[in-house]
Structure 1
């Protein structure tokens, strides 16, 4: 399939951004270009509601520059959308006409409802969260939604954003303590006007640049060892600490905070207060970042036209399929190993071997799709490549802890290598949990050794338990010598995890 590129320009109140997406062979969108210009168009809104000529000119100059970038790609489609600053301007029609006349773009000004909807759509199509709130604070508006069972239930757009809140409450570059108290009270009153926001105890999902900066600051302060921002989780105490920490800093130090964009230094405090106030009101069970936002939501709608729904059936399943396709993994072998693993797992569970749970099977099955995918890069160091690729690649539908578990299981090679990989993350897991993950990884490696030549030689597994050993009979329909050699070699890792000797019986049937 030839490469298919799509472009979108998002004319926001704080910044204007151009993103180019490549639609890969699995049908998913992948960012290949992301260009941002800080325009702060909301500051050009005059008292009479008009966007000033200077503001229009700044926007036109930026769009002209972006158009030159677009010309370097053969695009399937390009879209230009605008949000609060253009939506709130009384000369909106004139602005849209100027963009068409001078650049040739058809600018679509999103309504408040559309802007909120696209944020929600981006979240439910890029995470496995089925119920939660989304909050997207831009320069001139703040969109909040509530969804349940992945369906939008409520949405609202407040006509204030990071820039307008700063202008309303801060006389200087940074707020006084009294100004910050006034901001907090203002937000509390506005948010309490929505009865559906109260005490839901579900995730609060942050969208947009402000949320991204808050997460980057938190990760830098914690020296967070895992790569990626999408689906990163913070707690109330984390948000409170960052808000109070940033409040103590003068502007020069604020601009140098690791993770904070210099152009957002003067508006980060209103952003953190919006998130923290919402967290407290909703009694959220976590603040989670979605790197997918309005722009992604627009394209999700576009790409699902004619399907009867704009929701992807299973976000994680599609992400796993994407990995299998990207690394040319063998679907036939995956399904055969899953068949053997399910038989082994069920019989272990039935006989009380390994203290296995239903969730364990979900974890094993998930890891079986991507086991040893690092072989694609280098066979000799495949375990290292497997762990790195899975631990440091965003996988839509998996929170960071689950992504790490997946990487540890799919890269399992030995206890020594496992301890090496889990080293930076040891505090994330209790000791017994580490041992359990290692056992599941050893079980998966054992099952892959049963199909080491990818011929499906071993067809079925039978487990018997006696006082001293676990006896595993392996029924075969083809010559099994290579599988016997590999399995005898690898079973020691499972024996160490289970603290039981394993005897193998290969039976030609």
Structure 2
């Protein structure tokens, strides 16, 4: 696949451009994102589905601008897909031919099931989920996919969209309660067609409506981490909030902490979202910042892997390692470092007592331990923290992102950065366990940097940690004196110290 790939997604409400850059077979990152509120389907639902001049003009100008951006970024491959507004429009094919003639851009219309499949491909690869139902509410349709054990079992497309409901119900001059009642009856009629197996305790919110609601809930609840992807919430805890939005007047929407740009369709979208969540018996929602565009990209980049990243691969970790080029790049040395941490973590379990629950997070942090030095060796641990906080996007929970990032922030002089711990306390392990994890991480880094390829083992008895090495650990002996510990205990080093004799120097 081309190093840079542009994906254009033409929806009923918005047109979006994203440009992905591959850093290796499994590593990639987003380098450009643009959006235009084209509302290509505006007025269509009351005109037998025909695209109207006002929407056509906005769509043309947006696509023209996207192509200028694509050219500027020297993109080698461009894929453009269109969803319900164009597939439902009797003059949709005429619009596609016109765009091809005037702009040279080929547009592929995808049906609702394909749209749902793309969202599911993105979600199962880039979110920490195995069993869930994706819900992608667009302007003209709501596309749903059932995921079980990481497999996409079935997809379905409902004729429920924000623009559709807006023009059919919410634009009418009726009392808001009456509008809601009529719209609900319409929604329930559509939901009756949804296959019975579409039931799940977890819903994945894809698309603008779900993201807007999650951002509102984050502000409403004072959530400590400003990261939308993988944010999750309990539906019952925010039921009053979610139920109140469709019943609100347009003027009162500001009290819900919602983006102003979403005021025009958020009541319609929330009503659809609420009714689908209830119908599928969902208990919680996890938010996805990825969807159709990422699904299209992954369909092409993971063709040889059955549209799934291998089990041991995390694309964010791969992308960071590709771009920030850690100094430790010999595989055998990497394994030695991870082996040291695994052995130490296991040996200290009598004190830590966490059943090695954070083993994988510890190993991820160690893999990334030198990324900050790419910028400068000074305060490299702080640079590593900020890189991880921004770049650990895919496949992690917020708790994992914070733990990995905070471990990278440690550098031996402290086991806990108190301001960060206080800010994110609700999403972190208990303080005592965090101190031990930090100790294991910092001692592993110290041993690795000072010993390189030494064979190192540990024993911990009578509050004494003994470190055995088949090579000298002189620098470690010096630094270990100032190493912070979670609790008072002794550290003894037994190494193969070798000092050649020199009579002239008296040794």
TM-score of the pair, normalised by structure 2: 0.88
Q: Contact between 2:144 and 2:156, CA under 8 Å: does it hold in 1?
A: yes
d(CA) in 2 for partners of 1:409, 1:254: 40
Cα offsets for 1:38-76 (capped at 9, x unmatched): 122222325333323444333223322332333323221
Show structure 2 runs of 5+ residues with no match: 499-507
The answer on 1:89 being equivalent to 2:85 is no
Change (3 A) 1:315 1:27: same
Cα offsets for 1:14-43 (capped at 9, x unmatched): 112222222234653322222222122222
What is the aligned partner in structure 2 of residue 483 from structure 1? 476
Cα offsets for 1:425-479 (capped at 9, x unmatched): 223457xx121022111111111111223632x312130413xx324132223x3
> For 2:292, which of 277, 291, 294 is the aligned residue?
294
Change (3 A) 1:47 1:442: same
The answer on 1:473 being equivalent to 2:443 is no
Show structure 1 runs of 5+ residues with no match: none
| Cα offset, 1:150, TM superposition | 1.6
d(CA) in 1 for partners of 2:312, 2:230: 13
Change (3 A) 1:454 1:168: farther
Provide the aligned C-alpha RMSD in A. Answer: 2.8
Deviates more, 1:244-253 or 1:232-241: 244-253
d(CA) in 1 for partners of 2:451, 2:493: 20
Secondary structure at 1:206's aligned position in 2? strand
d(CA) in 2 for partners of 1:344, 1:474: 11
d(CA) in 2 for partners of 1:23, 1:464: 45
| Cα offset, 1:337, TM superposition | 1.6
d(CA) in 1 for partners of 2:317, 2:418: 25
> For 1:366, which of 355, 364, 367 is the aligned residue?
364
Cα offsets for 1:76-109 (capped at 9, x unmatched): 1112211101100122322221111121111111
Output aligned runs, 1:80-479, within 5 Å. Answer: 80-172=80-172, 176-196=176-196, 199-201=199-201, 203-237=202-236, 239-247=238-246, 250-254=249-253, 258-262=257-261, 264-305=262-303, 307-314=304-311, 317-329=314-326, 330-332=328-330, 333-349=333-349, 352-371=350-369, 373-413=371-411, 414-415=413-414, 417-429=416-428, 433-453=430-450, 455-456=452-453, 458-466=454-462, 469-477=463-471, 479=472
Cα offsets for 1:273-307 (capped at 9, x unmatched): 222223233332421111111011111111223x1
TM-score of the pair, normalised by structure 1: 0.88
Q: Contact between 2:389 and 2:401, CA under 8 Å: does it hold in 1?
A: yes
| Cα offset, 1:256, TM superposition | 8.5
Q: Contact between 1:132 and 1:205, CA under 8 Å: does it hold in 2?
A: yes
d(CA) in 2 for partners of 1:392, 1:126: 15
Q: Contact between 1:226 and 1:392, CA under 8 Å: does it hold in 2?
A: no
d(CA) in 1 for partners of 2:451, 2:173: 65
Secondary structure at 1:19's aligned position in 2? strand
Change (3 A) 1:416 1:149: closer
What is the aligned partner in structure 2 of residue 59 from structure 1? 59
d(CA) in 2 for partners of 1:346, 1:11: 52
Cα offsets for 1:305-351 (capped at 9, x unmatched): 3x1511111386332222223322214443222111222223334xx
Q: Contact between 2:464 and 2:490, CA under 8 Å: does it hold in 1?
A: yes
Change (3 A) 1:354 1:70: closer
The answer on 1:505 being equivalent to 2:502 is no
d(CA) in 1 for partners of 2:110, 2:12: 13
| Cα offset, 1:372, TM superposition | 5.5
d(CA) in 2 for partners of 1:269, 1:323: 39
